[in-house]
Amino acid sequence: MLAKGGCPKSMLSIKDALEAVEGKWKLLILFALSASPKRFKQISKEVGGITDKTLSKELKNLEANELIKREVFDTFPPTVEYSITEHGLSLEKVIDELHFWGLKHRKQVIGK
Amino acid sequence: MLAKGGCPKSMLSIKDALEAVEGKWKLLILFALSASPKRFKQISKEVGGITDKTLSKELKNLEANELIKREVFDTFPPTVEYSITEHGLSLEKVIDELHFWGLKHRKQVIGK
């Protein structure tokens, strides 16, 4: 693929993908939700270092992109749970490759 | 991998990777440089929609993370060329997966 570098059509689809997952939080939130549906506070704790305001904004954006689903349960008091959608799960390979590359990058550059 | 969702060690390496390539531009710049070394204006044109100030900042950051190399050639006037490093090329699979996912996302969500 990289040999085709600069192909305008590929550039567009990479842009599309980057726009849907841009920022440092969205993929981490999806990763946290990939194991099981979670409540707001659980996501916040697992992702780490994110403010409630930012997490709330990111969750709305992920929902708009159909990557996660928000469900309200009629308990007392009502509970809200977030889960990953099938479309969100389809980012698995992207997250996998980032994970592998992150390990390598820490060894090669950050670890210096 | 996603089955291991929430594993703190994986979370760290994904964070590392996202920090190195964060924002909407870095991976696009790497993609543009993957075909051949390029000059500033060529990169700007291929990536599209990026200001000179932002491109300059992103190039410096990519250089600091050893993902690209900046070379000055003793021509008249002097020319500067940017090329992708081996470490930058190792992001190939990440970029590939983003490309494939971006195609899918356009079909499924953006195209609606």
Domain ranges in chain A are 27-110
Alpha helices of chain A — where are they, by DSSP H?
8-21, 26-35, 40-47, 52-64, 86-89, 92-105
Contact across the interface for B24 and A31, Cβ inside 8 Å? no
List the single residue in A14, A91, A95 with the smallest CB-CB distance to B31: A14
Residue B7's pLDDT band (cuts 50, 70, 90)? confident
Nearest residue on chain A to B90, alpha-carbon basis: A101
Q: How far apart are CA A104 and CA A109, in angstroms?
A: 8
Residue ranges of chain A with per-residue pLDDT less than 50? 3
> Nearest C-alpha of chain A: how many angstroms from B73?
23
- CATH fold group of domain B8-110: Arc Repressor Mutant, subunit A (1.10.10)
Residue B85's pLDDT band (cuts 50, 70, 90)? very high
pLDDT given at position A84: 96
Mean pLDDT value of segment B81-98: 92
> Nearest C-alpha of chain A: how many angstroms from B2?
6
Cα B23 to chain centroid distance, Å, stands at 9
Contact across the interface for B65 and A106, Cβ inside 8 Å? no
Nearest residue on chain A to B17, alpha-carbon basis: A102
Mean pLDDT value of segment B78-88: 95
- The string of pLDDT tens digits covering residues B25-56 is 999 999 999 989 999 999 999 999 999 999 99
Contact across the interface for B16 and A106, Cβ inside 8 Å? yes
Peptide bond into A77 cis (omega under 30): yes
pLDDT given at position A2: 52
pLDDT given at position A112: 67
Contact across the interface for B1 and A106, Cβ inside 8 Å? no
Please identify, in words, the CATH class of the domain defined by A27-110: mainly alpha
List the single residue in A18, A28, A32 with the smallest CB-CB distance to B27: A18
Peptide bond into B77 cis (omega under 30): yes
Contact across the interface for A87 and B109, Cβ inside 8 Å? yes
What SS3 class is residue B50? coil
Mean pLDDT value of segment B65-93: 94
- The string of pLDDT tens digits covering residues A13-32 is 888 898 888 888 999 999 99
